[in-house]
Structure formats: C-alpha cells, structure tokens
Structure 1
Amino acid sequence: MQTRTRDGLILLLVGVLLGGGLAWLLGRRQETPPAAPRALDAVPAGALLVATLDLPALRGSPAFASFLREEREIPGLGKVRDVCGFDPVAALTEVAIAVPAAGEGGDFGLAAAGAVQDEALLACASKVIEARGGQPVVSTVGGFRAVRDSSAEGSGEIAVRPGGPILLGGGAYLRAMIDAAEGRTPAVGASGEHDDIARAVGEGAARVTVVLTPEQRAELGRELALSGAGRSPAAAIRAGGVGLALGPEIAVHAVVLCDAEAPCAELGAAMRAARDARADDLATRLIGLGSVLERIAIAADGNSLHARVKLSAEEAGALVERLASLRGLRQPAARPAPAPRLPRESDGSGGSDAPRGDAAAPPRGDATAPRRDAAPARRDAGAPPPDAVITPRERAKPDAGAP
C-alpha cells in the first residue's frame, strides 16, 4: 500500500507540474504582443496600382541609398529634423503606395510601417501646416488620429495610430485605408489579383503591380482602336508588374499577364522590336541605357510575358543618377528658388501680382525683384536642359566654376 500510495502521489505531482507548466506557456502565448502592422494591410482591395518599398534593403544598396539619406528637407521650410525635431522617415521599414481604380475616391494613398512616434508625427505635421500659413485640425477616425489643413479644401490628411501604420491620403480614400487597416473591409491581399502578379514577379526590395478592371480593359481596347492601331495585343493585358531584387547584381523582372497565349506571344514580338529600335536611339545610348536595353531578355510563357535584365551595382547607380538628373529629381539648387518669392509676392502691390509670381518673363514693380530672381536663374542656366544628357557629376563641374 505504501509503495502504491507513493507512486500515486508522484504521478499526481507530475500532473500538477505539467498542467501548471502548460497553463504558464499558454498564458505567455496570450501575452505575446501581436505582429507589427504591415503597410499592405492598409491598402483597400480593388486598387489599380500597388507599389511596395523595402526601405532597409534600399538603404543598404549603393545604387539607392543616396535617395533615402537622412538629411531630408521640406521645400521652403528647411531640414525635417530642424522643423520637427526628428525625421519620421528614418525609422520606417516598409512603404506601400496605392492608386484606387476609381479616380473619384482619391488620387493615391500611402501607408508606412516601422517604429512610429504617433504624437510626435502629428505635432510635426501641424508645425508644417502652420509654417505654410494653414490651420491644422486634429480629429479622431476609428483608432487613428488624423491631421489636415482646414484652410485648404481638398488637401490631404495624415493619419496615425500608436504602433502604426502611418497613412497619407485624401477624403474618402483615407477613410477606406483606415477601414482596411482596422479589418472592417478587405485589404488588397484578400482579392488575390495583386498577389497573383506579385508571385509571378517574385520577391524584391521594390515592386509594382497593376491590375486592370474589366472597364479599364475595355476602355484600353477602344482607345487603341481609335488611335488607328486596329486590333492590338495590348488589349489582352489584364495585369502587369515589375520587381527589383538587390544583391551582388541588381535584377529587374517584369511580367505581363494576358488573356490567352497568342496575344502574349504577339505582344512579346512587338516589345522586342520596340526594344531594338529604342536601343539604337542616340539619346538612349548617350544616357547609358542603350546597352541595358540590348540585354533585356523578353520571352512569352503561355499566358504570361517576361522581361528580365541584370545590372551591376555600379552600373545601376550611374543609371539612376543620370535618369534622376534628366527628370530634375536631383537639383537642390533649383528647388529652394520659389521660397524667396513668397514674401515678395505678399509684399507686392496687391493680389493682382500673385499670378505673376511664377512667371519669369514679366518684370516686377519692385526694383530689387530681378536681382533676387537672378541668382536662381544663373544656377538654372548653368544646368543642362532636360533633354541634355549630362550626369550630376558632369553638371557639378560648371556650377563649381561659376562665379
């Protein structure tokens, strides 16, 4: 009896310990904080275009790091850190940009995830609005707090909640993003259409997917017919996307999904012809894009069409610099030019002068106005015109020698 009693007590003790351990583990499991919100969770279903950026990966790439440098500026106000006391972008890890299929819902929406300082961000946005002469208004929408400029009808809003995400949009589309983020309406991942093209493109530090609605495809077919193109294989496109994978080499992979195999094969032949013609263009070769176009492999695979090319990090960096130069994305000397004109317009002879503030040709009544405008004009004159093919480094040489 004593042995059986002892064995029973031991089994009871083991059971209690196991049960208590299991309860403790379950309790710890329940206390585990939820996963950090993703930017895509705030993109409503039915978007026409969705673009995602992996910011840590892009920051670590020599080709793109300079575009994400911390010293960002707010046009006319100065550096972000000086205005707000911190840089909201520096702690972000993921950005998603969406364009709704219906234009009346808003032009676009932006969602960002990462280490979010919600109160500091709202204060920063309010400072920027006030510095520009606006009237910031903070409101609560669901679990988010939003700030907008009440003096500018139709202006965008910034919404944020503790832990994120940060949302930027306008009107009804911002509300739709909040509903998606809080699970009241489906997010873009629930539709599956963007997921299909995203899987075809593959993982990447940057990715763009486009899904056409039946109405948009019908409109595309009508426009192609009216343009004289007749029956074009482009009318068979239902979705497309492009991804950018970073590594020792930078790989670009674009995919087009078609209704059937024949239009995809026909579209591939047309794209190869366009590639060859563009690669031989003198302007294309001058900016260094000709050799890249020649290496693009375009091939149809059933209902899909694939285009692939790989670049070295140095080649990609130089190409990005040149393209940014031609598009005016990197002209820091020219961007601050409008700032001095703002007080001059308000100090002018009245409201009738305001429309002329952006015009370069008409002289102003203020004798000092031409001299204030002269400095930016000299900087612009020293830079190449948009069609000129000069890299930022080449452009910096004449500027450095200018008086």
Structure 2
Amino acid sequence: MVTVHVAGSLDEARQKGLQHPNCRHSVSAYTPGLTRVDDAEPDPDGYEAGQRQREIERTIRKYKRRAATALNDRDRAAAEAKTRQWQAAMRQHLADHPDLRRNRVREQDGAGNLPPEQRTPQRGQASQQRPEVTPEQLDNARVWSGDDRTIREMTDDQLAGAVGSGPMDARALARVEAEADRRDLDDLAARADRLFPGGHLAGDLADVGDDDLAWAIQHATADEVLRIAAEMDRRDGIPLPPPAATGNAVDDLLADRDALAEAMDPAPDPAGWGALADEQPAHDEAFWDAVMKAAAARARGEDGDQDERHLITRREARALYDEYVWRQYADAEDACNGYLLNRKAKAAGVDPGSLFSGPARIAYARASDELKEWWAEHGRLTQAEFIEQVTGKTQRWAAGARHNESDQQNKR
C-alpha cells in the first residue's frame, strides 16, 4: 500500500488560481507508486528569457501590422525591414537560449487570439480559417474546466449537449452524472411535496398536470388511484349516449356500437378499428386519412348499403357474441337478483356465466326458475343464431338451436 497525502482537489486548486490566463501548468493522471513527480525548481533566468521572447514576438507582430496597413510603398518597405530585423533578433535569442522553442503562430497578426474574420493574412499567405465552435462544444469546455458552481448554472439541455458534443474523461462525466442525480432528487422531492403534502394526495387535483398525475399513480394508495382516475376521466371524458332499448338484444348491441362510433368521431367506427393493425400510427393527417378511408371501405357494401349487419364477417360476429353473452348475463343477474342457478347446479359449482351460451338443454337443466322466466321474455341465442341475425346469412346450426330452445320452453 502507498500512502498519498492530498493537498486538495483540482477544483479547489482552480479556485486558488491554478490554470489562470497564461498559466503553464498541465494536468495529467497520477498513479500512486508509479508516477514520478519531480520537485519544481525556480528558474528566474529561464523566466526572463521566456518573457524576452514574448516581447520580440509582440514587436514582430507590430511591424507586420504596419506593413499590412501601410498607405504607400515607402512605409511598407520600412515596416518590412523592421520585421526582418526583429526576426533576426528572435533567431539570435533562440540561439542564446537553446531551451526555448520558436512558435511562429505567435508571430502572426493576432497570435491566434483573434477570430478568423479579423486576422490579416501575410503577403503570399492564405487566410487560415478556424472551424466554427458550436454552443455545445463551448458547454463541453465549461464542464471540463469549470467548478461545481459552473455545472449547477448550466441547464439540462446544456449538460446533455456538452456530453454529446465531444469526449469527456471520467472525472467530467462523473460531475455531470452527480449533478443530474442531484437535480432528479430535488425534482422528486419538490414533486412529492406538491402532490403528497403531509404524505397524502393533494385534495384539489384540478391544477395538477397530466404528467404529474401519471407519476402520482405510481406512489398512490388504492383510494388515491381512484381519485386520480376520476380526475383523468373528468378531463378526457366525453358524454356517452344512453344505451339502446329497442327490446331486441342484437339490435341494441349494434345500435350501441353505432352510437359509440359517432361519439368517437373522427376515429374509425368499431368495424374499422383493426383495419390498420399492421401499420404503425403516425401523428399526422395522412395517417388519419388512411384510417378513415379504411373504415369507410369496411362500412360500405358494393351497393352502397350502410346497414352494418350485412357487412359484419363471421369472425367479427363471433367476437361480438362474447359481448352479447356478457351483456345478457349482466342484465339477467340484475333482474333475477343473482339467482341464476338451481340448487343442484349451485351445489355442483357451475359457473352461471356458462348458461348463456351452448346447448339449450344443458342451460335449462341448470338454470333457476327466475332465469327461465327471464329467458322467456328476453330470449337466449346460441352462437349460430346470433351470427345468423348479425350477418343476415343462414347458419347451418341455427335452425336446430331454435328447435331445441322451443322444446325447452315447452317443457316448462
């Protein structure tokens, strides 16, 4: 094990002045036990030599600017002569101090600090254009070099753009992730205080946004979920038409479907809901136009007849039969006060819902007297009879089913 004494973090060092303008320090990885750190020694002579080099560079730039902006050939020639004189002084200075290196960029107009459009190209030299820096790249640089306060001042979009605009080391990514976690926790705490003051769902949900309501469902009790659902129904609910009451169960079922389709306009009617099941919905007018055309094609016969029962297929009729059975079962249970089975069937654990489909002889053998009276008034259809009525096409087994139903009624 290697003991490492840490004087401070990089952020703390920057706050104390590290990496100030013209700072010559650099940052690199340090591995305890492997990285060798040499003790820094003062070099006043080297510093003075470096400052003299900067002075010569500034003077060269000055005379290059004079040559570029001269109004006549005499002034230009004089400025160029001075430029060559100071360039010779630079060569001599570098020869006297071998540790120094010449950086010709520093001798150009602007020394690399001016934007490209403000630089003055030298004679015979093309203008060098810098690539444009995007706002995301600037944010990336802020994450790299800024402190924790800088990270907190950046918006979520700025942080996301900074991460996606260029490479980041583990330290910078960790700072972004830590800030994102802090904001998420703060947002969750604020949302919880707003939606669940005192640990219970707020009393008034009228001003709560849809996203907040969806989030609240995940943390609400069963009673609170019902309140949230009621609020969502209040916002998005539409007045539904009253149930049809023609006296015929099949006609009522089809009439209710038509009324529901009208209430849901411009969505397709129930016959067209699955017409585009293989297509991915798109939130544009073209998608809904296609839906309406498909629905219209399914709701119109060759002769233009709009009677829905002549357009329903046998497959759709079988699906509708399940709905018919459930409705008959619910109505009968309500009318008979729940007494749907006779004693023998109830003792055998027969499912009362099974009485509303299948052979009549089995259903009547298990039904209570109250249910038989209800059937005598409202009827009972097998799947074959229902498909025949809905599609308008004769079914092979429908006649036999009607005969069996009549026999069971006559036995009573």
What is the TM-score when the length of structure 2 is the normalising length?
Answer: 0.19
Bigger Rg, structure 1 or 2: 2
Structure (1 or 2) with the greater strand fraction: 1
Specify which structure has the higher proportion of helix. 2
* Larger RCO (alpha carbons 8 Å, 6+ apart): 1
The TM-score, its normalising length taken from structure 1, stands at: 0.19
